[in-house]
Structure 1
Amino acid sequence: MSVRHFLDIDGAATLPTEELSLVDQSVADLVRTQAMGAVHGPAGLGKTFAVERALARRVGEVAACWVSFPSRPTMRLVAATLLEELTRVPVTGRRDRFALTAELLEELADHRGRDPRERLLVVDEAQQLNRECIEFLRYLHDHRLTRFALLLVGGDGAWKVLAREPMLRSRIYRRVVFRELTGEQVCALMPRFHPVYAEVAAETLLFVDDHFAHGNLRDWAAFTATAVELCRAGGRDRIDEAIARNAFALHGGTRAGAATR
């Protein structure tokens, strides 16, 4: 299983953030205990990348199934989509969600006699699900016939649903919260991210963060991809304020930070 950075920037390195380490440990713990977990936070902070990286390190140990849904899916759509991902066979006909649930319970049953790897179901963009759909996943996970770990990955909306329901929240064994990089983290980590930031003054890094990226890794990646091209075109090894301003212009100008930051 290969893991790619956003925009697949040549020379970019994986940043050793605390969240990356926590996700790696949480995936290991969830697989070991076959429990439920949640990874959540604002968009663009590397949640999916962190889970993909953790699973890439455990290809021989974990049978992972990834699934995502459109906004506000019905329980039948959740059941049908999940069954298709597990079986790789399109769901046809007019089967209702009860019939699909029965098939899901069979597919999610303890499969260690056929495959020694533990199973992990990853629900990406979990904030799209309402309480009933998350409760449906909980039902599948807790059923006496099934054996799999369940990881919900997405925006903070997913955690808001879980937090309102004690029966759901109490089942979350591992929880990792992603937040934007602080200014201190930007100065410490970005020089490790790409050579164009090597030995760049902290003031310049903070200038980029304050006017464009605001601690968001996806925005930093977008800026970096553009900055690399500008440095190459100008015969430069690293960025300065002039290159930063040119990059801002190519992205439509500076960007306001999130209201919560």
Structure 2
Amino acid sequence: MSVRHFLDLDGAATLPTEALALVDQAVADLVATRAMGAVHGQAGLGKTFAVEQALARRTDRADACWVSFPSRPTMRLVAATLFAELCGVAPGRRDRFALSAELLEQLADHRGRDGRERLVVVDEAQQLNRECIEFLRYLHDHRLTRFGLLLVGGDGAWQVLAREPMLRSRIYRRVVCTPLSGTQVCALLPRYHRIYDGVDAELLLFVDDHFAHGNLRDWAAFTATALELCQDTGAEQLDEQIARNAFALHGGVRPRPATSSAS
């Protein structure tokens, strides 16, 4: 399984954040216990990347089935998508009841391809409505099934999931992804890309305060633009003028986004 950096940024390194380590441990635990977990946080914080990397480290043990859905999908769409991913064939005209029966049969064996442990990953979980969440819980909790279930979601995901007490009480591992703090930015960014090597912490904080706000995707977008500007000017590292020019190419400085509750 190949894990790609946002924008396929040349020379980017994977930052050893606390969230990355926690997601790695959570995935390991869900694979081992076949339990249910959740990874959530604002958009752009590296949730999907962290899950992909954790699974890439366990290709010999985990067989991951990835699914995602549009806003407020029907139960039939959830069942049909899962069926297609797990069975490798289109669901045809089967109704959701027939699909549910076949999914229970398919998920009765905790072993996926090549005998590896099965883990179903639902991305963009905040799109699910109550009926779809209950359907996933039903599949996972059925006496016949044996598989791990990981729900990955952006803004509002935990609020959606936590509305269902029967689901919330079954979450065995939960990782809340948060933006990098100023201290983390100064410690980690020089390890992220060579254009930050030797750059003063004051300049890194300037970029973070005016543009990235601790968001890994925004830092990646800024870095890709700044790298092009460095190459155009022959600069080896970021300076304030390059930073300001990069801001301009992205439409100017960005206000700090409002934070959503993770409780």
- Specify the TM-score bucket, using the shorter chain as the normaliser: over 0.9
In structure 2, how many angstroms separate the alpha carbons of the residues matched to 1:216 and 1:201?
19
Amino acid at match of 1:231: C
Distance 1:114 1:22, change over 3 A: closer
Query: Match for 1:162: what amino acid?
Result: L
Tell me the residue number matched to 2:51.
Answer: 51
Equivalent residues in 2 for 1:189-228, closer than 5 Å: 189-228=188-227
1:178-215 per-residue CA deviation (whole Å, 9 max, x = no partner) reads: 01111111111111100100110111001111111111
Q: How many Å separate the matches in 2 of 1:230 and 1:21? A: 33
Secondary structure of 1:78 counterpart: helix
1 CA distance for matches of 2:2 and 2:144? 32
Q: CA–CA distance in 2 between the matches of 1:172 and 1:114? A: 25
Which AA in structure 2 matches 1:89? Answer: V
Which residue of structure 2 lines up, in the alignment, with residue 38 of structure 1? 38
Q: Counterpart of 1:74?
A: 74
CA shift for structure 1 position 166: 1.8
- Offset, 1:159: 1.2
Amino acid of the structure 1 residue aligned with 2:256: G
Aligned partner of 2:122 in structure 1 is 123
Q: CA deviation at 1:115?
A: 3.9
Alpha-carbon shift at residue 167 of structure 1 (Å): 1.1
Aligned match of 1:64: 64
Q: How many residues align?
A: 260
Structural mapping, 1:164-203, within 5 Å = 164-203=163-202
Structure 2: distance between partners of 1:258 and 1:143: 41
SS in 2 for 1:104: helix
Contact 2:45 2:178 in 1 (8 A): yes
TM superposition shift of 1:91: 1.7
TM-score (norm 1): 0.97
Which 4+ runs in 1 deviate beyond 2 A? 111-116
**What are the superposed Cα offsets for residues 113-150 of structure 1, whole Å, 9 maximum, x if unpaired?**
97421100000111110121111101000111111100
Q: Measure the CA separation in 1 of the matches of 2:79 and 2:185.
A: 42
**Contact 2:190/2:196 (CA < 8 Å) preserved in 1?**
yes
Structure-2 change in CA distance of 1:47 and 1:205 (3 Å): same
TM-superposition CA deviations, 1:158-191 (whole Å, max 9, x none):
2112222221111000000001111111111111
Aligned to 1:6: 6
Task: Measure how far apart 1:87 and its partner are.
Answer: 1.1
Deviation at 1:156, TM superposition (A): 3.9
- Tell me the distance in 1 between the aligned counterparts of 2:46 and 2:154: 11
Tell me, in whole angstroms, the C-alpha distance in 2 between the residues paired with 1:196 and 1:87.
46
- Counterpart-to-counterpart distance in 2, 1:249 and 1:212: 11
Q: Distance in 1 between matches of 2:164 and 2:23?
A: 23
CA distance in structure 2 between the aligned counterparts of 1:37 and 1:113, rounded to whole angstroms: 19
Whole-Å separation in 1 of the counterparts to 2:76 and 2:165: 24
Normalising by structure 2, we get a TM-score of 0.96
Q: Report what 1:153 is aligned to.
A: 152
Q: CA deviation at 1:111?
A: 4.9
Aligned match of 1:239: 238
Task: Tell me: CA distance 1:113–1:19, structure 2 relative to 1, closer, same or farther (3 Å).
Answer: closer
Matched position secondary structure for 2:38: strand
Residues 203, 113 of structure 1: alpha-carbon distance in 2 compared, 3 angstrom cutoff: closer
Q: Work out the CA distance in 1 between the residues paired with 2:248 and 2:155.
A: 31
Task: Give the match's secondary structure for 1:188.
Answer: helix
Distance 1:248 1:153 in 2: 30
The one-letter amino acid paired with 1:198 is D
